Chains A and B, each alone.
Chain A
Amino acid sequence: MRENLHRFFRAARGAGVHVSPAESIDAMRAVSQVGFSDRTVLRDALLLTLAKSQDEKLALGDCFDLFFSQPEPRQDQPGTDDDASQEADPSPSSEAASEGGEGHPSEGLGPLAQMLLSQDRNALAAAIASASGAASLSDIRYSTQRGIFSSRILDAMGLQRLRDELDELTATNPALAERLRTALDALREAVRDTVAQGLALYAREETENLRNEILRNAPLARIERRHVAEMRALIRRIAQRLRERYSKPRKRQRRGHLDVRRTLRRNAAWGGIPFLTAWKRKHRDRPKIVAICDVSGSVAQVSDFFLLLIHSLHEVVDDVRSFAFSSHTIEVSEILEKKSPEEAMAEIMSKVGFGSSDYGSSLVDFEKDFMSTLTPQTTVIVLGDARSNNLDPRADILRRISERSKRLVWLNPEGRLAWGFGDSEMPRYATFCSVVRQCATAQQLERAVSDIVATYQ
């Protein structure tokens, strides 16, 4: 049974539940208290010890149901399972065969054939389970491995012998051969299901990691539509990571010089002898961010993800104002706060999207209406490719924005090589920016935002 639990832990990790060795030990202890007899109690016990949040509970609950759904004999007769997994490879189903083989017409056939003919479901399920143990199904990683694992399991169950017997029987006893063939098809199907379940249980972690790795480095602007939802999930995780890193106040770093006046006052009772010291605190600005995003066709997708990220950082940056433009500028903070990301983006696009970008007039709009949002504590982030269709870039406005704010960061989804070529005005804008960086992938986005937030720490 311990083996089963270990496999369950692996499956749980695959389902995204963090199971550390210490937690698995706790779970083991809990399970040894409640036993395996009552499945709901077992489920509760595992959920209590392993899952650490409501989301994890849901995921783990599903995982538990999937894990314990098919192999029923495991619950009904735990004894058989233990025995079977011990003897494993050479003749995994000999015991099951001895149950169903007596007094059958098919004398002299292999154990697998006898089992198939006797239609003993429990024995078959147990044999599949032990054979999948022998074929180490829990090592399955990719969906392309399904075939090889299926055939490994079937081999472990004694398929070769069954084939030979089938060949013989077709000549001697065609009716029996026919029955056996149907049963074999059913068996193949059952094995295929087992492998599919195994894939769902054990392979998730690996594939997910791989996919995330690819997604993190994929250019945001050209992401496929079907990956958008996954990307959003990834961005949300990035936001969570940034929140964890930056939301905790760091007291010690903030301690400044000795505050003489407060120290004296506080120690008046002791005749001014400083028993208790009072310290000045270093002043730290609260993060204030003004984000100005290009939502014209070429960069809209990147802006979308960027806005999603910056607005999921409430605990760290509570003062964010966002503006979107393609040919003129509007404020979009409220839309983003109130609506779901999908709806918000659709609304923003319908308002200002779909135009050809005109950085000059958009900056004029910003200066006219929103210049007052900038304070000396504000970090201004401009996200755009700086391709202004050969219209006046109005870099002078950008200079004024830069002068009014703490920092001006320009994030450009295009590669450095393309800056300044064609209608790109990047070099002219860059002179007024504190930082200019490329921001094409989720990873670059994370680094950029992380750096911006870190300057306030």
Chain B
Amino acid sequence: MAEQKPSTAIEAVESGLAAQGYIASRQIATAVYLSQQIEKPILVEGPAGVGKTELAKAIAAWRGKKMIRLQCYEGLDEAKALYEWKYAKQLLYTQILKDKLGEVLGGAKTLHDALAQLHDFGDVFFSKEFVEPRPLLQALEQPGGCVLLIDEIDKSDAEFESLLLEILSDFQVTIPELGTVSAITPPTVILTSNSERDLGDALKRRCLHLHIGFPEQRLEERIVESRVPGISQTLRRQMVGFIHEIRSLDLKKLPSVSETIDWARVLVLLQVSELDTEIVKDTLNVLLKYEADIEAATPQVTTFIAKAARSNVFG
């Protein structure tokens, strides 16, 4: 692998992801390549719907690995993210094993002897069998490695970030009763964030920082082409051009790639061959998610279509 020229390796990443229907820009491919080479997680930031989560899925599909996803939310804690003891099972087993315990301890004369004998059995009830692995621990236990997606890390609490640090830098977790569990094969870790709050420096330092913005027109056309194959080239150009015009407006929520793809699907469904004012106005609610945004954009529709058509001639 090291013998391979980096630029060809990066192109290989690009085409590999493209085969999974994910058209990656050069930066994205470089990040994926580097994260594999120097074994670092990638922290992906960017507006909603530019394909942050999709990237993890594509990597998993391309490498043929399992994807384990941890969706973050406020109040997410160790027990839900890392591991939990199976309390019910522990209780049940103590009940069932009561007689057995009686036998074992039967020979003991004094309380001290009983305790000593009990110690010989070790921590039976705090062994691996009673651990319920949650996504993070699961990811470390995959023998063939996996893609671990920690989605929307900015939604979790600040304490949870600190919990992640050990896993991100050393690919291991420490369970007080069991000791340290290291990854069999280091997983590829992808963290996504919508920049809802600033992440801690310690977390950022452990990751490659990748920012995915809105794609350039050409790239977006290729994305639409790969995702919505039924769309004609002229329409594709027009609609992507139109969306780029829309993004120049000052809106509450700008349409992102996922909206572009949805819109392309809608246009194909409606069997539209060319954009016109009517059809755009009717389907604007696919692109814009706020009433105020739709109101702001509606008067501009005609000019934007004209502009998109004009750029078509030259592009």
Q: Which A residues are within 8 Å of any B CB, using their own CB? A: 18, 20, 22-23, 26, 29-30, 33-35, 37-38, 40-41, 44-45, 47-49, 51-54, 57, 244, 247-249, 251, 315
Contact = CB atoms under 8 A, between A and B. Distances in A.
B208 interface: yes
Contacts of A38: 6-7
Pairs A-B, 8 closest by C-beta atoms: A44-B30, A34-B6, A52-B204, A33-B37, A48-B208, A29-B38, A38-B7, A44-B27
Nearest to A315: B197
B184 to A, nearest CB: 23
A33 B6 contact: yes
Interface string B182-218: 0000000000000001100100110011110000000
A32 to B, nearest CB: 9
Given A23-B205, A54-B211, A35 B6 contact: yes
A426 B6 CA distance: 70
A51 B209 contact: yes
A244 B31 CA distance: 29
A295 B201 CA distance: 39
B34 interface: yes
B45 interface: yes
A106 B249 CA distance: 65
B191 to A, nearest CB: 13
Contacts of A23: 205
Interface range on chain B: under 10, 10 to 19, 20 to 34, or 35 or more? 20 to 34
B40 A26 contact: yes
Given A30-B38, A34-B34, A48 B209 contact: yes
B10 interface: yes
Contacts, number: 68
Nearest to B209: A52
Contacts of B27: 44, 47-48
A150 B143 CA distance: 61
Interface of B: 5-7, 10, 26-27, 30-31, 33-34, 37-38, 40, 45, 157-159, 197-198, 201, 204-205, 208-211
A34 to B, nearest CB: 4
Nearest to B199: A52
A203 B214 CA distance: 35
A30 B33 CA distance: 10
Main secondary structure of the interface of B (DSSP, over half): helix
Given A44-B31, A47-B27, 5 more contacts: A30-B38, A37-B7, A44-B30, A49-B209, A52-B204
A281 to B, nearest CB: 15
24 contacts: A18-B201, A26-B38, A26-B40, A33-B33, A34-B6, A34-B30, A34-B33, A35-B6, A37-B5, A37-B6, A38-B7, A41-B6, A41-B7, A41-B26, A41-B30, A47-B27, A48-B27, A48-B34, A49-B208, A49-B209, A57-B209, A57-B211, A247-B197, A315-B197
B10 to A, nearest CB: 6
A38 B33 CA distance: 15
A280 to B, nearest CB: 19
A405 to B, nearest CB: 30
Contacts of B157: 249
Contacts of A49: 34, 208-209
Contacts of B209: 48-49, 51-53, 57
B208 A20 contact: no
A196 to B, nearest CB: 31
A22 B34 CA distance: 16
Contacts of B37: 30, 33
B34 to A, nearest CB: 5
A52 B203 CA distance: 10
B30 A45 contact: yes
A48 B210 contact: yes
Contacts of B6: 33-35, 37-38, 41
Contacts of A30: 34, 37-38, 208
A41 B205 contact: no
A51 B207 CA distance: 10
Contacts of B33: 33-34
B85 to A, nearest CB: 14
Nearest to A38: B7
A30 B23 CA distance: 23
Nearest to A57: B211
A381 B149 CA distance: 47
A40 B205 contact: no
A45 B40 CA distance: 13
B205 A33 contact: no
A135 B189 CA distance: 45
A48 B30 contact: yes
Contacts of B204: 52
A249 B158 CA distance: 9
B14 to A, nearest CB: 12
Contacts of B159: 251
Contacts of B34: 30, 33-34, 45, 48-49
A53 B175 CA distance: 33
Nearest to B158: A248
